[in-house]
Amino acid sequence: AEGGAAVRDRLREFALGLGLSEDHQSLLETLLAVETEASRDRVAGLEGDALVHRIADAVIATLRSAATGGPRVLVFDDLHWSDLATLELIAQVATVTPDEPILLLCLLRPDRNAPSWPLLDRLRSGVGSAYVRLDLEPLDRARSRELLDNLLQIDELPEGIRSTILQRSEGNPFFLEEVLRSLIDSGHLLRENGRWRATTDIGDVRIPETLAGVLAARIDRLPEPTKRVAQTASVLGRIFGYRPLASVCRSAPPEERIENVDPHLGTLAYEELVRERAREPEREFIFKHGLTQEAAYSLLLKARRRELHGRAGRVLEELYAERLEEVAPLLARHFSLGGDAERAARYAVQAAQRAVALYALAEAEVHYETAVEALESLEDAPKDRLLDVILGWAVVRYKLKRYDGVLDRLHAAEALARSEDDRPRLARILSWISLMYMITGFPSRSGPYMRESAELASELGMDQLLLLPFFFATETLIDRDPRRAALQFEEVITTAREYGMKEIEGHALASSAVAYARLGDFGRARTRIREALAAAPSGGHPVKEADVHMILAQAHYELGEIETGLEHARRGAELAASRNAFECACAGYYAVGMGELERHELDRAVRSFDQSLEWSDMADWSGWTGIRNRIRAGTAAVRVAKGTGEAVADLEQALANARSGHDEYGVATLSERIARAHLTAGDPDRSATHLAEALEFYRRSGMKPYEAR
């Protein structure tokens, strides 16, 4: 096999022949995992989706250049087993087919649960009329019988056997072919005088019920050495190289050693179980069907599988010593299944890091999971290594928005970091625990972890970890000091962009819009609203998206745009409720109720406030006294608006609660609402007292629109 340098040389020659730029060459080297330091420097500023799109651009440029020499056909087989990164690349490459002489043939099983299935919709929408879908349906019984007769014209085949074959095949041509081959292998079909004849004992033959059973029976009847070669090949994969197979067979214990695999590969090819796939840059074979490989693998006992995987890993490690990074996923798999946990962890981490660099996050998750399990099985595994792998796994799960089980594993890592007195890693773990509570809709639970993480980060000079607590501290200023909040949010936004923390950026943009609106800087508030909406989808986390919508609802309310604010409030509440994010749903329905109150949709407002209280009860946290007080105040305000005079007393009680809770903004806004109620009731003196208190706070806080109101 060619090493990285040889592959780069061939790639460079190919790229120069097509007139590709150096940037495109660097991206293709990255795709093939043969990049140099110069290539790494050229793509250093790219990550995530940006890197994926640039690699796709390089592949598209390559195809466009190649197509100038005539039509090209690209065939992608077995896409139901493809990784997400490959599927994304295919989807982007397909966009050139309407304009270039390029044909893409994509073959996949109709498995709606496979990652490949959504690709069909993307291709349909992406290439329009250039998209053609062909569904291969099972053959009906008449056509199955016709195919059976065409495959072999068999004299004296009992009708009962024929019916059993047709019934078991369920219209699958591959099943029909394999059953016939199985009957030939077993001697129940003989060729005499140019014709096939069924033997007299064929009526007693047992036809396996499944295709897997037919294939397993065929492989099991092979000569023992040939069967061992087939089973060894199945361990290497559906596609396997000649050199690895030969080396694994030669390195077997003496009683199983096979020095020359060629005659056995010849037999397997004659039996149409495998076929040669390539000769350059090295010989490569493929099982005729994925099920054929699975059947050969299923015949191995667990102990033998384990031994073969371990041997395969050691052989690949030696054969591809110059390309270990490229074959790391294979090595991780073989050593994991071979029981070599230390090597499995080492190569799984390499594979995960490589996958993250290419934004193949689903693959990175699998590799990190392998590494975690391997390290946890080792009694003497370095604890710092395990903690780093868990953190890497948590980051990937976060980016994939797969939150189940993340907090459990992070809490276990927290306990381990504390027992090891590993303060830097403890700070990072606590920060991630805090963030996970926040994005899953339980921000109140994140507080203790955020505070401890901030204390450790401050002591250790880990500035990035200080962003989350600084953001939350700034968030609390909106109600007390919007001027200071607006200034600090600028710093939060800048830092979030620097570290690529999209979820904090979107949240901070929305919150700064509220601060600017309260200060009367409506132009800047609207700018921040637009930026927050642009940032929210790129954050990609539904609960954080819900947060942004709820905050934008408040921003629009501050601007007097109640209808638009209500749209955001409802969107945020529904998103949070769909994820069972109790605290966020509580805040969302409160925002909905406030908008409906402003629009004088009083019955709807009552229902929304009731929903908000129900979600707060499910959150079941004593620290929710403040928000519950505001919800009940909203309900009382509805009753006042309906003309229920005694409801003013409920507002007075809410005001007293706000005072005791040091909720200055709540005190001011409730005082204003009570003043309006007294004025409506014809009591201007009591109204003036409450208005004076509200006005003093608004002036002190620089809230000009409130003051003017």
Rounded to whole angstroms, the Cα distance separating 85 from 51 reads 11
| Residue closest to 695 by CA, chosen among 657, 668, 667 | 668
Predicted pLDDT at 40: 78
Answer yes or no: is pLDDT of 392 > 90: yes
Predicted pLDDT at 476: 82
Share of the chain above pLDDT 70, in %: 97
Predicted pLDDT at 420: 96
Question: Is-contact 73 43, C-beta < 8 A?
Answer: no
pLDDT band, very low/low/confident/very high, at 442 (cuts 50, 70, 90):
confident
Terminal-residue alpha carbon distance, the chain: 78
Q: 30-61 burial, b for 16+ CB within 10 Å, e for fewer?
A: bbebbbeeebeebbeebebeebbebbbebbbb
**Rg of the chain, C-alpha, whole Å:** 34
Question: Is-contact 427 453, C-beta < 8 A?
Answer: yes
Rounded to whole angstroms, the Cα distance separating 571 from 561 reads 16
Rounded to whole angstroms, the Cα distance separating 597 from 566 reads 11
Backbone angles phi, psi at 299, to 5 degrees: -80, -5
Contacts of 91 (CB under 8 A, 6+ apart): 119, 122, 123, 126
Rounded to whole angstroms, the Cα distance separating 313 from 328 reads 10
Rounded to whole angstroms, the Cα distance separating 552 from 510 reads 6
Question: Is-contact 331 360, C-beta < 8 A?
Answer: no
> Mean pLDDT, to the nearest integer, of 664-688?
90
> Mean pLDDT, to the nearest integer, of 495-517?
90
| Residue closest to 705 by CA, chosen among 557, 572, 598 | 557
66-75, 177-186, 193-202: which range is least confident on average? Answer: 193-202
SS3 72: strand
Predicted pLDDT at 471: 82
SS3 279: coil
Segment 403-415, tens digit of pLDDT: 899 999 999 999 9
Output the average pLDDT for the chain.
88
Q: 350-382 burial, b for 16+ CB within 10 Å, e for fewer?
A: bbbebbbbbbbbebbbbbbbbbbebbeeeeebe
Question: Is-contact 586 619, C-beta < 8 A?
Answer: yes
Q: Please provide the size of the chain in residues.
A: 709
> Mean pLDDT, to the nearest integer, of 30-55?
76
> Mean pLDDT, to the nearest integer, of 353-378?
90
Omega cis (within 30) before 225: no
Answer yes or no: is pLDDT of 622 > 70: no
Tokens of 593: 């109720």
- C-alpha 239: how far from chain center: 27
Write a three-state SS string for 393-434.
Answer: HHHHHHHHCCCCCHHHHHHHHHHHHHHHCCHHHHHHHHHHHH
Predicted pLDDT at 47: 66
pLDDT band, very low/low/confident/very high, at 22 (cuts 50, 70, 90):
confident
Predicted pLDDT at 365: 94
Sign of torsion, CA 232 233 234 237? positive
Segment 137-147, tens digit of pLDDT: 888 888 988 88
Answer yes or no: is pLDDT of 240 > 90: yes
26-30, 132-136, 652-656: which range is least confident on average? Answer: 26-30
Segment 561-611, tens digit of pLDDT: 999 999 999 999 998 888 888 888 899 999 999 999 999 999 999 999 999
pLDDT band, very low/low/confident/very high, at 537 (cuts 50, 70, 90):
low
Side-chain-side CA neighbours of 691 within 13 Å: the count stands at 14
E strands in 119-246: 154-155, 189-192, 195-198, 239-241
Q: Which residues pair with 155 in a beta bridge?
A: 197
Question: Is-contact 170 145, C-beta < 8 A?
Answer: no
Backbone angles phi, psi at 370, to 5 degrees: -60, -45
Rank 59-73, 183-197, 236-250 by mean pLDDT and report only the highest. 236-250
SS3 671: helix
Please give the angle made by the CA atoms of 422, 350 and 40, to the nearest 5 degrees: 105
Question: Is-contact 267 222, C-beta < 8 A?
Answer: yes
Predicted pLDDT at 57: 86
Q: Which whole-number Å values give the CA distances from 277 to 7, 238, 242, 284, 439, in the listed order?
A: 20, 11, 11, 5, 48
> Mean pLDDT, to the nearest integer, of 534-539?
66
Contacts of 488 (CB under 8 A, 6+ apart): 470, 473, 474, 477
Answer yes or no: is pLDDT of 2 > 70: no
Segment 292-347, tens digit of pLDDT: 999 999 999 999 999 999 999 999 999 998 888 889 999 999 999 999 999 999 99
Answer yes or no: is pLDDT of 705 > 90: yes
Backbone angles phi, psi at 197, to 5 degrees: -130, 135
> Mean pLDDT, to the nearest integer, of 453-460?
90
Predicted pLDDT at 149: 79
Contacts of 410 (CB under 8 A, 6+ apart): 390, 394, 429, 432, 433, 436
Helix axes 562-578, 542-558, angle to 10 degrees: 160
Predicted pLDDT at 351: 95
Write a three-state SS string for 451-485.
Answer: HHHHHHHHHHCCHHHHHHHHHHHHHCHHHHCHHHH
Maximal C-alpha separation, the chain: 119
Predicted pLDDT at 378: 93
Rounded to whole angstroms, the Cα distance separating 517 from 492 reads 18
Predicted pLDDT at 621: 52
Rounded to whole angstroms, the Cα distance separating 244 from 242 reads 6
